[in-house]
Structure formats: C-alpha cells, structure tokens
Amino acid sequence: MLTTAALRLACLATALLATTTVSAQTTYRWIDPGTGGTVISDLPPPPGTQGVIVSESSSIADEQRLPYATRQASIRFPVILYTSADCGACVPARALLNGRGVPFSEKVLTSQDELTALGRQLGGNAVLPSISVGRQNATGFSAGTWNELLDFAGYPTSAPYGFKPAGAPVE
C-alpha cells in the first residue's frame, strides 16, 4: 500500500515538472493569396507560399519579462528589421531598436531579387535598412521616422532594466 502511494506521488511530481518545462516554438506568418489576410500559425505554410516570416520563441518566460505594454505592442505590431551583410547604417538602426527595448526579428537580404521583392512588399524602392512595424513600413534609416512608427505602435522610449537585445535573424 505504501509503495503504491509513493509511486503515485512520484508520477504526480513528474507530471507537474513536465508541465512547467518550456520548449521552443516556431511560428509562421504569411499573407494568404486567396483572401489577402495575414495567417499566423504554428504549422508551416503550404509549399510555394511567398513571403513567409518564421519566428522562433525560445522561452515564454523571456517574453514575460518584458513590460506588459511592450508585449502588447509586439503582438499587435511586430517589428521586422531588413538588413544586409554590408549595411553600414544597419548598426545604428539596430542600436535604436535595442535602445528602446523593442523586440524585433531581423531579415538579412542576400540577393538583389530579395531586395526587389522587399521593395514590392514595402510599396516602393527598398533602401536598407528598412523596418516594418505591423503594417507600417519605412525604407532607409531615419531615426525620427522610425521613432514615430514605434511611438504610434506603443513601444517604450527606452529599454527596461535588464533588457536583452533582440534581433535574431530570420531565415
């Protein structure tokens, strides 16, 4: 009788520990060509889908350390920084986002075709770095314009204490 109770207690403890473990989660975001709506899913898009943005969340606990207003802004207005390997203005652009405590994804463009596609997506000629804040975009780095976009989206003006810079590259 005592061993059965001990076994049940061990199983319960194992189950509780398993539920608190946080694992990485991949999220996919793309525009559905049929409806024109944005699709956000934990399942990969259909083969051949263009403009897929892949986000990896390493830990829910990391996201919950951000202030509530920042988390809400990042849900409603996700930030994507478009850069290239030889982009000189990308360093201050990244510094502006990290200085404000803005969680963002970074898409590194490696070909002229990708730059042309970005220009079509943003509605004009793409100049790197470019930024997408929700559905609003800005091409080329202009601190004033970028700050206006981030202010409108509700992002903080300075990073909270202990903020870890974002900007994980998106493939």
- If asked whether residues 128 and 75 sit together in one domain, one would say yes
pLDDT in tens, 51-98: 888 877 654 445 557 788 888 999 999 999 999 988 889 999 999 999
**Domain count of the chain?**
2
- If asked whether residues 51 and 104 sit together in one domain, one would say no
Q: Give the list of residues 6+ apart from residue 114 with CB closer than 8 angstroms, or none.
A: none
pLDDT in tens, 50-64: 888 887 765 444 555
pLDDT of residue 95: 92
- Print the domain residue range for 121: 66-171
Compute the average pLDDT of residues 116-136: 90
Of residues 3 and 9, the one with the higher pLDDT is: 3
pLDDT reading at 132 higher than 90: yes
- If asked whether residues 55 and 86 sit together in one domain, one would say no
- If asked whether residues 73 and 107 sit together in one domain, one would say yes
Q: Which of 12, 32, 64 is the last residue of a domain?
A: 64
> Has residue 12 been placed in a domain?
no
pLDDT reading at 44 higher than 80: yes
CB atoms within 10 A of CB 66: 21
Q: What pTM was estimated for this model as a whole?
A: 0.61
pLDDT of residue 19: 47
- If asked whether residues 71 and 97 sit together in one domain, one would say yes
DSSP-derived secondary structure for 92-161: HHHHHHHHHT--EEEEEE-SHHHHHHHHHHHTS---SSEEEETTEEEES--HHHHHHHHHHHT--SSPPT
